[in-house]
Amino acid sequence: MVSKEDIFVKVKKVLMEVFEFEESLIIPNAHLYRDLGLDSFDSIDLAVKFGADVGIKLKEEDLRPIRTIADIVEVAYEKLNVGHVLEN
Instruction: Flag whether 86 is in a domain.
Output: no
> Is the pLDDT higher at 87 or at 4?
4
Instruction: Flag whether 48 is in a domain.
Output: yes
pLDDT at 85 exceeding the cut of 50: no
Confidence (pTM): 0.84
Total of domains in the chain: 1
Instruction: Flag whether 12 is in a domain.
Output: yes
Reported as a single tens digit per residue, the pLDDT across 11-36 is 999 999 999 999 999 999 999 999 99
What is the span of the domain harbouring residue 55?
4-81
Instruction: Flag whether 22 is in a domain.
Output: yes
* Segment 6-10 long-range contacts (CB within 8 Å, at least 24 positions apart): 7/54, 7/72, 7/73, 7/76, 7/77, 7/80, 8/69, 8/73, 10/50, 10/53, 10/54
Instruction: Flag whether 87 is in a domain.
Output: no
